[in-house]
Amino acid sequence: MYKIITSDLDETLLRKDGTISQANIDAIAAASAKGVKFVPNTGRSFLTVQNLLKQLGLYQKPGEYVVSYNGGVVVENQDNQVIVSNQMPFAEAKKTFEIMTQFDVDIHVYTLDHLYIYRPRADDMAYLKTRGVTFDELTGSFDQFENDRIMKVIVMNPDLGVRQNVFQAITAAFDEINCTYSSGIYMEVNHAGVDKGTAILDLGRKLGVGADEIMAIGDNANDLGMLTKVGMPVSVANGIDEVKRVAKFVTPHDYESGVADAIQEFIL
């Protein structure tokens, strides 16, 4: 029996418009009733998933958790208490940001509890609106974040070639750094060694749950960190080829009911 199910959100648990199907809601409720913890595992802030937690019956619940910022932080749902923090050192984040400004991208800077966007694009703002994500436009020097906890810095451009150029520039500038792609429009940067998998294993250790007792469900490259570390890696049907190659199970359906497929197969 798996004790933790951890799932990516966008394009895995959630539809393209950011909504969740009743099939997925019902399956998660059934798994929770059997004592299995459902842990959303997202690149976004934990603050943006509060409405989803309400739909799943996990809002403000003690002993229930969210992994956010691609593993940058783990919070307990009750009062959003920080359980694990894997922030970026300020100098690393600043250097990353400065390199990103050289490209045709908008740039997200995520602190523990806020999102700032430098040069926000209309298409990015439209996407974020479907996810209920709010932000402030970033103006002034990056030094304003020197005393903040910076979780990650990412770029957005729907042109893969542009994102690949940023990826190459960032990886060339550091001996170690974690760069991943997500949602078909973002390239994300976390501190070296920080990913969704590291965070869920950290949480597992705190709860006495081993890697072989965790099922992870994902669709994109930033999910590989968790899919390659857990006992049961699952790809939804719309997962990219690289995700499907590492998965032990590919669901019959996409984000509409793929999470429900996995829960039905392995939990219920």
Q: What is the pLDDT of residues 102-128, one digit of tens each?
A: 999 999 999 999 999 999 999 999 999
pLDDT tens sequence across 53-64 = 999 999 999 999
| pLDDT band at residue 1 under the 50/70/90 scheme | confident
Count of CA atoms in the C-beta half-sphere (13 A) of 71:
24
DSSP 143: G
Give the pLDDT of residue 45: 93
| pLDDT band at residue 41 under the 50/70/90 scheme | very high
Separation CA 244–CA 246 (nearest Å): 6
Give the pLDDT of residue 132: 86
Give the pLDDT of residue 84: 92
The identity of residue 128, as a single letter, is: L
DSSP secondary structure string for all residues of 174-188: -SS-EEEEETTTEEE
Give the pLDDT of residue 26: 98
Residue 49 reports pLDDT greater than 90: yes
Q: For the packed helices 160-173 and 90-100, what is the interaxial angle rounded to 10 degrees?
A: 140
| pLDDT band at residue 47 under the 50/70/90 scheme | very high
Separation CA 260–CA 268 (nearest Å): 10
Separation CA 66–CA 4 (nearest Å): 12
Give the pLDDT of residue 131: 87
For 190-200, what is the mean pLDDT? 95
For 210-221, what is the mean pLDDT? 97
Separation CA 221–CA 227 (nearest Å): 10
* Beta carbons within 8 Å of 241's beta carbon, 6+ residues apart: none
Output the average pLDDT for the chain: 96
Q: With contact defined as beta carbons under 8 Å apart, do 100 and 166 qualify?
A: yes
| % residues pLDDT > 90 (the chain) | 97
Give the pLDDT of residue 60: 97
**CA-based end-to-end distance of the chain:** 10
SS3 7: strand
What is the rounded (10 degree) CA torsion for 80, 84, 90, 94? -80
The identity of residue 33, as a single letter, is: A
> Which pTM does this prediction carry?
0.88
Give the pLDDT of residue 62: 97
Closest alpha carbon to 178 in 168, 169, 188: 188
Q: With contact defined as beta carbons under 8 Å apart, do 218 and 225 qualify?
A: no
| % residues pLDDT > 70 (the chain) | 100
Q: With contact defined as beta carbons under 8 Å apart, do 109 and 94 qualify?
A: no
SS3 249: strand
Architecture of the domain spanning 4-86+194-266: 3-Layer(aba) Sandwich (3.40)
Give the pLDDT of residue 75: 98
Tokens of 99: 């390199």
The topology (CATH level 3) of 90-190 is 3.30.1240
**Residue carrying the six token digits 């694990």:** 84
Where along the chain do its domains lie?
A: 4-86+194-266, 90-190
Residue 230 reports pLDDT greater than 90: yes
Q: Count other C-beta atoms under 10 Å from residue 136's C-beta.
A: 11
Separation CA 19–CA 21 (nearest Å): 7
